[in-house]
Copies of this chain bind each other. A is one copy, B any other.
Amino acid sequence: MTEHIIDPSVVEAENAKRIADLKVDYDTLGERLDRRGISIDAIKDKVAGFSVAVPSWGVGTGGTRFARFPGKGEPRDIFDKIEDCAVIAQLTQATKTVSLHIPWDKADPNRLKQAASRFNLGFDAMNSNTFADAKGQLQSYKFGSLSAADKATRDQAIEHNLECIEIGKTIGSKALTVWIGDGSNFPGQVNFTRQFEHYLDSMKGIYAALPDDWRLYTEHKMYEPAFYSTVVQDWGTNYLIAKELGDKAYCLVDLGHHAPNVNIEMIVARLAQFGKLGGFHFNDSKYGDDDLDAGSIDPYRLFLVFNELVDAESRDKDFHPAHMLDQSHNVTDPIESLMLSAADVQRAYAQALLVDRNALKAAQEANDALAATQALRLAYRTDVEPILAMSRHEQGGAIDLLATYRAAGYRAKVAEIRPEVAAGSSGIV
């Protein structure tokens, strides 16, 4: 039986205050959708089946190179993190898995499994880390890891990824995500071609060790931490990688990892079309890899991404990209941000499901640009909150996520147990 961290009676009490209004709103929305030929219950069922993974590191407070300002009651270790993730899962009913990061979350795999199963949580993709040096590590990643000029360094980085796979096997993960910071800060610092050859060689070593029912996700990013060039800089390179490696290799799209103005939904469409869209790291951004809450800056873009996903789904029943949040919460309670972000990802999905695809296609074929874009706008404008809330309510989650979480007083409770972390400059400007 699933343990609940938040006392269900708190959830019920909060829901009780809102259920009458919600029913009215759900019904009136249902009528409006009915006029458009859409069954609200069918949408709700699809939403209920949607899940996005929570990254273990997301429940801690993030920071920048200038400073990190810790919050209260920060998780001390992966077991605290799993509890925080369980809170999110309980209230949202939309985050059924946790994604681990090695070495940050390194622990006895069986203990990890046990901790998660208490809350009926599964494990999503394993994340390796060769962008920072771990204590006691022989070779430094200062000048690169999987693509480093130095062979011993590359071998160590490969070895680390193999270890991640091993841990993942025990805890039931089915995927490895590889993001590296390798690149260069100066023109000439690296030879682009040789560096990429090294990268591909290293990745082949990792791919070879991948179990048959696993997927390998590689993630592109334009810049940061490298500031002149990055070895996996965009989806073009990412595609080449997935193609070189084989059928289990897929590209991961992080919404904040692109050049300014880039049409991300189109990249999503291309990767889907060529069978290499692995999944997403959801977040939002205004400038660079800002890692802000999904949908908080440009919610229409998030909807347009989901519009592509629903479109791809309609062409290919086996299309199942992975969904994960990947955000940095510098000024909010991470649990609050993750709950609302999970809901906003669901929201975009629900809105995309409302698009009248026949009308859309007809407008496209007729070169009726205005009618086509209005088909999207009509779906996007629809306030689907009653659908999300009803779905949560029916599964035991919270109608009002923020109010319920705050009413439960979770943060204050863990702040009593978990010691305060000293604020301070990161010293790395």
CB of A272 closer than 8 Å to a CB of B: yes
Q: Which residues of B contact A184 (CB under 8 A)?
A: 331, 369
Q: Which of A110-118, A291-299, A409-417 contacts B (4 or more CB under 8 A)?
A: A291-299
With A143-B367, A149-B367 as known contacts, state yes or no: A331 contacts B292, CB within 8 Å.
no
Q: Which of A7-15, A45-53, A62-70, A77-85 contacts B (4 or more CB under 8 A)?
A: A62-70
The answer for the CA separation of A315 and B189 in the assembled complex, in Å, is 19
The 8 Å CB contact of A261, one of B197, B260, B273, B336, is B260
Q: Which residues of B contact A328 (CB under 8 A)?
A: 65, 429
Q: Which of A89-97, A164-172, A358-366, A390-398 contacts B (4 or more CB under 8 A)?
A: A358-366
Output the nearest chain B residue to A220 by Cβ-Cβ distance: B236
Interface membership of chain A positions 343-375, coded 1 if the CB is closer than 8 angstroms to chain B and 0 otherwise: 000000000000000001101111101111111
Whole-angstrom distance from the CB of A84 to the nearest CB of chain B? 16
Interface membership of chain A positions 304-343, coded 1 if the CB is closer than 8 angstroms to chain B and 0 otherwise: 1001100110010000000000001011110011001000
The 8 Å CB contact of A383, one of B35, B297, B383, is B383
Q: B35 near A31 (CB under 8 angstroms)? A: no
Q: A192 near B308 (CB under 8 angstroms)? A: yes
Q: A426 near B292 (CB under 8 angstroms)? A: no
The size bracket of the interface on A is 35 or more
Whole-angstrom distance from the CB of A266 to the nearest CB of chain B? 5
With A64-B428, A141-B69, A331-B369 as known contacts, state yes or no: A364 contacts B191, CB within 8 Å.
yes
Q: Which residues of B contact A64 (CB under 8 A)?
A: 65, 181, 224-225, 428
Q: B133 near A227 (CB under 8 angstroms)? A: no
Q: Which residues of B contact A376 (CB under 8 A)?
A: 187-188
Q: Which residues of B contact A194 (CB under 8 A)?
A: 364
Q: Which residues of B contact A1 (CB under 8 A)?
A: none
Q: Which residues of B contact A235 (CB under 8 A)?
A: 236
The answer for the CA separation of A137 and B137 in the assembled complex, in Å, is 35
The answer for the CA separation of A384 and B367 in the assembled complex, in Å, is 28
CB of A290 closer than 8 Å to a CB of B: yes
CB of A19 closer than 8 Å to a CB of B: no
Q: A364 near B288 (CB under 8 angstroms)? A: no
Q: Which residues of B contact A57 (CB under 8 A)?
A: 429
The 8 Å CB contact of A187, one of B142, B227, B373, B427, is B373
CB of A21 closer than 8 Å to a CB of B: yes
Q: A132 near B67 (CB under 8 angstroms)? A: yes
Q: Which residues of B contact A336 (CB under 8 A)?
A: 370
Q: Which of A150, A192, A382 has the most CB of B within 10 A?
A: A192
Q: A311 near B367 (CB under 8 angstroms)? A: no
With A369-B184, A369-B189 as known contacts, state yes or no: A286 contacts B228, CB within 8 Å.
yes
Q: B149 near A365 (CB under 8 angstroms)? A: yes
The answer for the CA separation of A381 and B64 in the assembled complex, in Å, is 31
Q: B311 near A223 (CB under 8 angstroms)? A: no
Q: B141 near A370 (CB under 8 angstroms)? A: no
Please name 8 further chain A to chain B contacts, defined as beta carbons within 8 Å, in addition to the given A132-B424, A337-B370, sorted by A numbering.
A137-B423, A186-B293, A187-B304, A191-B311, A222-B261, A234-B262, A297-B300, A331-B367
A-B contact pairs, 18 of them (CB 8 A): A62-B65, A66-B181, A66-B225, A67-B132, A104-B425, A187-B307, A191-B311, A191-B361, A222-B262, A223-B287, A224-B287, A224-B288, A236-B239, A236-B270, A263-B286, A298-B301, A332-B370, A371-B402
The 6 A-B residue pairs whose C-beta atoms are closest, nearest first, are: A236-B236, A63-B428, A259-B259, A132-B425, A67-B132, A69-B142
